[in-house]
Amino acid sequence: MAAYPAMSTKNAILKLDDKEIVLPIVVGTEQECGIDVRKLRDETGYITFDDGYANTGACESKVTFIDGEKGILRYRGYSIEELAEKSTFIETAYLLIYGELPTAAQLSTFKARILDNSQVHEGLRIALSGFPGNAHPMAVLSATLNTLGCYYPDLGTNERTHDLAKFDATAAVLMSKVRTLAALAHRSKEGEPPVYPKPGLDYCSNFLHLLFSQPNADYAVHPEVARALDLILLLHADHEQNCSTSTVRMVASGGANLFPSVSAGVCALWGPLHGGANQAVIEMLEEIHASGDDGSKFIADAKDKTKQVRLMGFGHRVYKNYDPRAKIIKAQCDKVLKVLGINDPLLAIAMRLEDAALNDPYFKQRNLYPNVDFYSGIILKAIGIPTEMFTVIFAIGRMPGWISHWKEIAETPKQKIHRPRQIYVGNTERAYSPIAQRS
């Protein structure tokens, strides 16, 4: 394969006053083009202004490709549809982290490493139990992921060559213990005693066991439930340069090791505009139910421009035709509700909203389809996972993505620290006034 980004034979010409600046054009493997402005400030004194980086390519990346208009999502070149059908979360995590699908031997080693690391140090478990009962599990997860590094001083030294040499071990520690820490955060909040991981269980069955088993009674894992959870994690495993992944890359660009980098990713994901949407779906359903509505009034309100109401879990900033992940998860959602024989009024409302929105011209004309958060919220509720834990599940799923982006930064020779510029709009220079003279 040719080296990318390639330089196009075309250039962009920027006219500033009477001067013409020739800007090269870079082209990615999917023929996405970008105007290269790296030398613009040196040559002209101007920076580019792009509030929120909505139209800025901040890096080159080989991990994930998205075409929102066409509804395409690919990890390392493999379509999300094919991975969802044929792969598992752990195999897909390997693909994201190492760039290739594993051989049977590689997968078995990767799984064994994850299994070997599933316990956390007793000191960390005790520290975790000291969080107040009302602490949000995302705060606990972020804090404990960073603390986890203190138990592995040799894995997180901030010395790049050394940290990269230990990368396999660090990736396994994080992939495994994020799940254990998440379950402990939940149990500690519920005042439940810890249970320990079981060697014979796969990644998701073990997570369900860690969440729901009691010391004297094992939780019976239904295979369709474990499969649904696996699918949710796989579908969330990476999503290009989103807010939390960009945060991980930003922290990593300063030279930080993996532990603080992914801990920062959890903080970024916590925000309601990012990872909190599946929680918002359930809160919306609860609100509809509590008001005695069957969903019809809420749909009418969502279409009424005089009201500030939106159908949560519908529409997407990037996917403008459909969310490819939603199509996949919907089928599993139907299966889970069936096998669990769920009879929850909230789920009945959800199905009514889905049906109405899919057939209503307002939503059809605006391409407002249910997104992945709509169905993942419903599945997680059906499984019995508390709403506050939804974003935590997202964080477990996103872990391999964060790890692969950290690696990409760490392995880039001459990696620059990420340091955007700004347009300053504050006060111009003024003299310091002594406190007695201030009103």
Ligand X SMILES: CC(C)(COP(=O)(O)OP(=O)(O)OC[C@H]1O[C@@H](n2cnc3c(N)ncnc32)[C@H](O)[C@@H]1OP(=O)(O)O)[C@@H](O)C(=O)NCCC(=O)NCCS
Q: Which are the catalytic amino acids?
A: 316, 373
CB-wise, 333 or 368, nearer to ligand X?
368
User: Quick one: which of 39, 317, 338, 364 contacts ligand X (CB under 6 A)?
Assistant: 317
CB-wise, 147 or 332, nearer to ligand X?
332
Alpha carbon 232 to chain centroid, angstroms: 11
Among the candidate windows 200-208, 260-268, 365-373, 380-388, which touches ligand X by CB under 6 A?
365-373
- Rounded to a whole number of angstroms, the minimum distance from the CB of residue 52 to ligand X is 12
Cα separation, 431 vs 256, whole angstroms: 38
Listed residue (213, 211, 208, 210) closest to 225, CA to CA: 208
Burial 369-402 (b: 16+ CB within 10 A, else e): bbbbbbbbbbbbbbbebbbebbbbbbbbbbbbbb
Beta carbons of 259 and 175 less than 8 angstroms apart = no
Which two tokens mark 131? 């969080």
User: Quick one: which of 178, 231, 302, 399 contacts ligand X (CB under 6 A)?
Assistant: 302
User: Quick one: which of 265, 313, 324, 397 contacts ligand X (CB under 6 A)?
Assistant: 313
User: Quick one: which of 89, 314, 402, 406 contacts ligand X (CB under 6 A)?
Assistant: 314
| Residue 368 makes contact with ligand X by CB under 6 A | yes
CB-wise, 229 or 312, nearer to ligand X?
312
Q: How many CB atoms lie within 10 A of CB 6?
A: 13
For the segment 275-294, give every residue that binds ligand X (CB under 6 A).
277
User: Quick one: which of 179, 187, 316, 405 contacts ligand X (CB under 6 A)?
Assistant: 316
| Residue 311 makes contact with ligand X by CB under 6 A | yes
| Residue 385 makes contact with ligand X by CB under 6 A | no
| Residue 297 makes contact with ligand X by CB under 6 A | no
| Residue 371 makes contact with ligand X by CB under 6 A | yes
Cα separation, 351 vs 281, whole angstroms: 12
Torsion of the alpha carbons at 72, 73, 75 and 80, rounded to the nearest 10: -100
- Rounded to a whole number of angstroms, the minimum distance from the CB of residue 245 to ligand X is 14
| Burial degree of 303 (CB within 10 A; 0-12, 13-18, 19+) | middle
For 268, how many CA atoms within 13 A lie in the half-sphere containing its CB? 20
Which two tokens mark 105? 């031997």
The count of chain residues that interact with ligand X, using the rule CB under 6 A, is 14
Grouping H, G, I as helix, E, B as strand and the rest as coil, residue 268 is helix
Task: Mark 36-75 with x for binding to ligand X (rule: CB under 6 A) and - for no binding.
Answer: ----------------------------------------
Q: Please give the helix or strand (H or E) that residue 64 lies within, else none.
A: strand 64-67
CB-wise, 277 or 392, nearer to ligand X?
277
Task: Mark 151-190 with x for binding to ligand X (rule: CB under 6 A) and - for no binding.
Answer: ----------------------------------------
CB-wise, 40 or 318, nearer to ligand X?
318
Q: How many CB atoms lie within 10 A of CB 48?
A: 12
CB-wise, 102 or 315, nearer to ligand X?
315
CB-wise, 237 or 368, nearer to ligand X?
368
| Residue 239 makes contact with ligand X by CB under 6 A | no
Cα separation, 104 vs 345, whole angstroms: 45
Strands ordered across the beta sheet of 64-67: 64-67, 72-75, 78-79
Task: Mark 319-358 with x for binding to ligand X (rule: CB under 6 A) and - for no binding.
Answer: ----------------------------------------
Cα separation, 71 vs 316, whole angstroms: 11
- Rounded to a whole number of angstroms, the minimum distance from the CB of residue 266 to ligand X is 18
User: Quick one: which of 39, 62, 307, 366 contacts ligand X (CB under 6 A)?
Assistant: 366
Give φ, ψ of 436 to 5 degrees: -65, -20
CB-wise, 5 or 315, nearer to ligand X?
315
**Residues at the interface with ligand X (CB under 6 A):** 277, 302, 310-317, 366, 368, 371, 373
